[in-house]
Chain A
Amino acid sequence: MEGFCCCNKKSFYSFKPRLLSLNLKISGNSKLIFALVVFLTMGFFLISTVEANEFENTLKDLGNKSRSKIKLAVKALGNMGNPAAIPVMEALKEKRLRISDNDSLIILNEAKDKGYDALTGQPVELGSLNLRKPRINNAVRRLLSTAIGKLKLFSDDPEIRLSAARDLLKRSSNNLVELIEKALKKETEDEIRNLFLLVLAKEGLNSDDKSKRLQSIKTITTLGNNDFKTILEEVLEKNEEDEFLEKDSEIRDAASNAIAKIEKRQFVKNQAANLFYGLSLGSILLLAALGLAITFGLMGVINMAHGEMLMLGAYLTFVVQNLFKEYLPGYFELYLIAAIPVSFLGSALVGIILERGIIRHLYGRPLETLLATWGISLILIQTIRLVFGAQNVEVANPSYLSGGVEVMNGIVFPYSRIAIIIFVVGVVISIWMLLQKTSLGLQVRAVTQNREMASCMGISTYKVDMYTFGLGSGVAGLGGLALSQIGNVGPELGQLYIVDSFMVVVLGGVGNIAGTVAGALSLGIFNKFLEPVAGAVLGKIIVLVLIIVVIQKRPQGLFSLKGRMVDN
């Protein structure tokens, strides 16, 4: 790399395409070079030109039509150590790289409406160009990640170095060892150093030298996480004749010792992860069931159309999203927040219409209510099918809900799930406040406890019924909004959740919001601790059996109001 001269080491790694472009412009222009050659020392610039030309040509190969040429180019760029290749390679990986008719590389921005020339850094007019996409596949992407990681290893920014080290750990291979050793010598950050040590240990396991293998296992014992278990298990593998592949018993002992240590260290983490998964599943069940806890739990309406209220909420979210896409593309990311009141009010309105139009005529006749609401659910499904089509519709996650945060080594909590947990806490608190602290809540509680008495006290029970049903439907709409972020939005969305919702409400105890919360969370957490042991299918069966047992032992549900209710 000595020949690539014009930059000193520091600026060399600071990723300014300018520097490169300047350099390449010089080298690209042979006349200028000729003049320079005359005026300056000859050899110096010749080397630079050759190197730069090689770099430039390799870079251009990234846009080659043949995938194997692209692969060679990526490998070569990774070894050349010129960080100027990073933006081009990243663009290729993210499919933002284009090739124009005269074979120059053009990098597009995220929105793909602007672009600049990869070599000169000059902005280009996209409209006039006939652009070709390079064809890449996962094999190319893997090579790109390795190459980019290699180049970023010497960046000045520790964050970049950290992510590069993580990437390389995933794809470690023998020919990385030298580079990593070099980087390790320079590295000051402990976290990155540990990752480097792990890469070396991973490769060291294959070494012929016994002490090196032992040393590697030692490193893994202290630093490794779950991901290393499989590697260590390989050390303990047997061949077909039941002989250990690893002949040395000392190494085998060290490896099994390491596995035990890692398992011990990971145990708490795994349980914490299971707890989070359970909370997250529980919060989704809770959102789906909260509306029902009000319409069924408080009002006693066996509301089979509850699932469709969820579905309506999800579709309203979809509509709001499309309106934002159409009229406020600049604020698109905020559509989800705007959808909160819309899905609540929209579903509440439909709920109120249903209550006024149909359900109020059926109070006290549970069987007829069941049939009528089931009919309503079919009507709603078919209506949605006619309006939006039978296909699922696309509800995109806003960028702030995509991806996740790595809380512990190897365990990721997705943002969308964290957001749903926070959201459900908010919804539960609001409902609780509404029921406990407002006069409407007082009336609702009065009517659910003793309708006649409440009516005698001057409470307009039909109004209370209307509001309560509206509230339940609106909350279901909010549930639909949340569900749109983690799953499909289609006409049959509600059908998936109706059974679960009834399960949660009945398990928790009818007529009791706190019971629903407890029911949902315990179901979710129980399910998630069971799933790793029993598998998803068997897990679900076990949960259902246990619910039957619980309901038999406690027909009133886990939690119930005792004695105060007047049953009629």
Chain B
Amino acid sequence: MSLLKSQRGASKITFKSIILALVLFIFTVQAQAAETIKVGILHSLSGTMAISETSLKDVALMAIEEINAKGGVLGKKLEPVVVDPASNWPLFAEKARELIEKQKVAVTFGCWTSVSRKSVLPVFEELNGLLFYPVQYEGEESSYNVFYTGAAPNQQAIPAVEYLMSEDGGGAKRFVLLGTDYVYPRTTNKILNYFLKSKGINKKDIMEAYTPFGHSDYQTIVADIKKFAAGKPTAVISTINGDSNVPFYKELANQGLKAEDIPVVAFSVGEEELRGIDTKPLVGHLAAWNYFMSIENSENKAFIKKWNAYVNKKKLPGGSKRVTNDPMEATYIGIKMWAQAAEQAGTTNVDAVRQAIGGQTVKSPSGFEITMDAKNHHLHKPVVIGEIQEDGQFEVVWKTKGPIRAEAWSPFIPDSAKKVADWTYPWVCGNCKKGKF
């Protein structure tokens, strides 16, 4: 009994000291806050999305360190505030609120899945925050408070399908639209359905199939694809979510469907996803992005060098095996662009910076001068299609001549064809047919 008591006493003391430490910590943080600009980083560091999002947090910290080394923004150092929404969509909204209201961050970089973005969107709009979203997505969205540095469908999906229809891509006449059952694949495939229709592809030449999250048995689907593909050149457009890709590709290889016969182009398989996959069965299959680690230019070389140095310095898990990928590049561009805009605006005030971001350009690792579109808050990006190699990298087989302007609202969907995304002052219109003042 006495032992118990003394233990309790001890725990009280530690509890007090922890509170004391916390209070001290908060004070020091607030003391620091006067001289720094807080930047929010809202990526899942645990849960299912940790696989993809951890790298984005790392690259964001690297970019911030780089900016700080050059003297920061407006003479002040950037101070990253990293929070972990733990792959939990409602928690994303809570953490976003915490970042803006409590931490008073000037800007937030974050989110990966569309559902997490949709969950934080009302928070950013309500509190007038600023979010940079770095991942390719399904479009059909435009917000005054969000800048999209990933690809819209016309910067990824549409060019990829056009490539598949070209002679080089195999002259596909039939398409399998295969995806995991959630908002991104459904919306993308809706756009693609309309697009293929506009290209004269018959409805019966399109097969659409969805699988639940975490689906791992692709026997029937692959057998169906095989039957469907007989007779006409066929291509598979895969919006399968991360983890299900491996069983899918393995099944393809095991049932003898080769990339040369039925190429699969994936929109969410990148270098990071290929890490830890036996890529031998995948060789020859395609992915469409705006950036590949294998792209050769001085900008990219420098980017990879910085990343490797950062990984080594911070001893990040994975070490020399760490790669760069498209969303990482998009995060990097976003941070640089925000810093430039803040310098130009002379303040970190959200409204001022927002006006300044439009038209900013950054020399990006993709090898092009990338511009932020003032009207629709999306980047002009080049499109590259790469073939998966045995070493888990991509070899570029096709690319656009230059950056393409994003279409936030797809012109192929009748409902959204007439919608305007135009945020140039004094317009305010992201989801309407006519601009309002």
Contact = CB atoms under 8 A, between A and B. Distances in A.
Chain B binds chain A = yes
Interface of A: 95, 135, 137-139, 141-142, 145, 170, 226-231, 234, 273-274, 277, 280-281, 284, 385, 389-397, 402-404, 406, 410-412, 414-417, 486-490, 492, 496, 528, 531-532, 535-537, 540
Contacts of A404: 254-256
B328 to A, nearest CB: 14
Contact of B170 (A138, A228, A406, A488): A138
B11 interface: no
Interface in B207-233: 209-212, 214-217, 219-221, 223-224, 226-228, 230-232
B250 A486 contact: yes
Nearest to B262: A138
Interface stretch (B26-34, B122-130, B278-286, B405-413): B278-286
Interface stretch (B48-56, B97-105, B345-353): B48-56
B226 A410 contact: yes
Given A230-B230, A230-B232, A231-B230, A138 B284 contact: yes
B259 interface: yes
B414 interface: no
A402 B254 contact: yes
B293 to A, nearest CB: 16
B118 interface: no
B260 A145 contact: yes
B387 A137 contact: yes
Contacts of B227: 226-227, 229-230, 410
Interface in B275-331: 275-278, 280-281, 283-284, 286, 317-318
A280 B212 CA distance: 19
B243 A228 contact: no
A416 B254 contact: yes
Contacts of B48: 492
Nearest to B281: A402
A390 B51 contact: yes
Contacts of B258: 141
A490 B51 contact: yes
B224 A532 contact: yes
A500 to B, nearest CB: 10
A528 B231 contact: no
A397 B215 CA distance: 20
Given A139-B170, A170-B261, A537-B210, A487 B247 contact: yes
A528 B247 CA distance: 16
B168 A392 contact: no
A496 B216 contact: yes
B264 to A, nearest CB: 11
Interface in B47-95: 48, 50-51, 54
Contacts of B397: 137-138
Nearest to A529: B220
9 contacts: A137-B397, A234-B231, A277-B217, A385-B50, A396-B280, A486-B247, A488-B277, A531-B220, A536-B220
A281 B219 contact: yes
B390 interface: yes
A496 B397 CA distance: 36
Interface centre among B217, B221, B283 (most CB of A within 10 A): B217
B246 interface: yes
Contacts of A392: 51, 243, 246, 275-277
Contact of A403 (B253, B259, B272, B387): B253
B51 A391 contact: yes
Nearest to B397: A137
A488 B220 contact: no
Interface of B: 48, 50-51, 54, 167-170, 181, 209-212, 214-217, 219-221, 223-224, 226-228, 230-232, 243, 246-247, 250-251, 253-256, 258-261, 263, 272, 275-278, 280-281, 283-284, 286, 317-318, 387, 390, 395, 397
B223 A273 contact: yes
Contacts of A389: 317-318
A139 B172 CA distance: 11
B20 to A, nearest CB: 29
A537 B181 contact: yes
Contacts of A138: 169-170, 259-260, 263, 284, 286, 387, 397
Given A229-B230, A531-B220, A531-B221, 10 more contacts: A137-B168, A142-B261, A274-B220, A392-B276, A394-B276, A406-B256, A410-B227, A489-B276, A532-B224, A537-B181
B164 to A, nearest CB: 10
Query: 3 closest A-B pairs (Cβ-Cβ)?
Result: A414-B254, A227-B230, A230-B231
B231 A231 contact: yes
Contacts of B247: 486-488
A167 to B, nearest CB: 10
Contacts of B228: 230
A174 to B, nearest CB: 15
Contacts of A540: 212
A394 B390 CA distance: 13
B177 to A, nearest CB: 13
Contacts of A142: 170, 260-261
Contact of A536 (B51, B54, B210, B284): B210
Interface centre among A138, A170, A226, A487 (most CB of B within 10 A): A138
Given A231-B231, A403-B256, A536 B209 contact: yes
A528 B220 contact: yes
Nearest to B226: A410
A488 B246 contact: yes
Nearest to B217: A281
Interface centre among A229, A528, A531 (most CB of B within 10 A): A531
A327 B263 CA distance: 37
A528 B230 contact: no
Contacts of B395: 135
A448 B256 CA distance: 47
Given A138-B169, A277-B220, A391-B51, A397 B278 contact: yes
A396 B170 CA distance: 29
B216 A486 contact: yes
B279 to A, nearest CB: 8
Given A284-B217, A406-B256, A496-B214, A277 B51 contact: no
Contact of A412 (B250, B255, B280): B255
